[in-house]
Amino acid sequence: MSKAFTKESDSAGDEDDEIGGLPPLPAGTRNYLTPQGYQRLRDELLSLIDVERPKVVEIVHWAASNGDRSENGDYIYGKKRLREIDRRIRFLTKRLDIAEVADPSQHRGNDQIFFGATVTYANSRGEERTITIKGIDEVDNLQGEVSWISPIARALLKAREGDEVQLMTPGGLEKLEVLDVQYPAPSPTA
């Protein structure tokens, strides 16, 4: 049978890393996460397994018992939703399996930039910006968070307050001065 008539692609496993538009992790690296990021991913996984998937399975079972499945919207949508849930479960399981939880509060008081640091820097035009370096699966760009594998984070990692680093941008080489490095306070449960 022609591939044009099959529903699933040959690279179904490759789709797992593309969920949510997340870039794949560099080969051979760990998936660094803050404790909060790890807990969020774990909670999502458990919710999918214990709550959402059983609900959808029940709906699909009920819809299948109604007879003709070819025109049964509940059945068709339910099966599609089950595939999405299973794909997300596989993705989360893979990411959590290679997760390495790094608590940024351990570096509190340190002026060197490591994973989890909130860094304020200035460019050559004097414009200041503050970013927080987090794991690829927990970044919220609207909150000023960047992934540890992003070019800006790679340029800043290991630098100290007062250091000048170079960042290659589409507009050319840019010099950044590190103004401030902060780490979160230890959590009360730690």
What per-residue confidence (pLDDT) applies to 55? Answer: 95
Q: What residues are paired with 101 via a beta bridge?
A: 33
Q: With contact defined as beta carbons under 8 Å apart, do 99 and 84 qualify?
A: no
- pLDDT at position 66 is 82
Note whether residue 82 is domain-resident: yes
Of 46, 73, 101, which residue is a domain's last?
101
Across the chain, where does the E strand assignment appear? 31-33, 99-101, 118-123, 128-134, 145-147, 164-169, 172-182
Beta-bridge mates of residue 132: 118, 145
Tally of domains within the chain: 2
CATH number of domain containing 158 = 3.10.50.30
Q: What is the pLDDT, as a whole number, of residue 65?
A: 87
Q: So what's the pLDDT on residue 13?
A: 45
For residue 158, what pLDDT is reported? Answer: 94
59 half-sphere exposure, CB direction, 13 A CA radius: 17
Residues 75 and 114 in one domain: no
Q: Which domain holds residue 144?
A: 106-182
Say whether both 116 and 178 belong to one domain: yes
168 three-state secondary structure: strand
Angle at 103 between CA 97 and CA 106, to 5 degrees: 150
Report if residue 5 sits inside a domain. Answer: no
Last residue of a domain, one of 63, 84, 101: 101
Domain stop point among 46, 74, 101: 101
Per-residue pLDDT of the chain (190 residues; tens, 9 = 90+): 444 444 444 444 444 444 455 667 777 677 899 999 999 999 999 999 999 999 999 999 988 888 777 778 888 999 999 999 999 999 999 999 999 999 998 888 788 999 999 999 999 898 999 999 999 999 988 999 999 999 999 999 999 999 999 999 898 999 999 999 999 888 775 4
Residue 81 confidence (pLDDT): 95
Q: How far is CA 14 from the centre of its chain?
A: 16
Least Cα distance to 103 among 157, 39, 47 occurs for: 39
pLDDT of the residue at 20? 52
Partners of 120 in beta bridges: 130, 180
The whole-angstrom separation of Cα 36 and Cα 169 is 31
CA 116 to CA 184: how far, in whole Å?
Answer: 8
Strand partners, 168: 173
- 113 and 167 part of one domain: yes
130, part of any domain: yes
124 and 150 inside one domain: yes
pLDDT value of position 9: 44
Provide the 8-state DSSP code for 150. S
Q: What are phi and psi of 66, to 5 degrees?
A: -85, 0
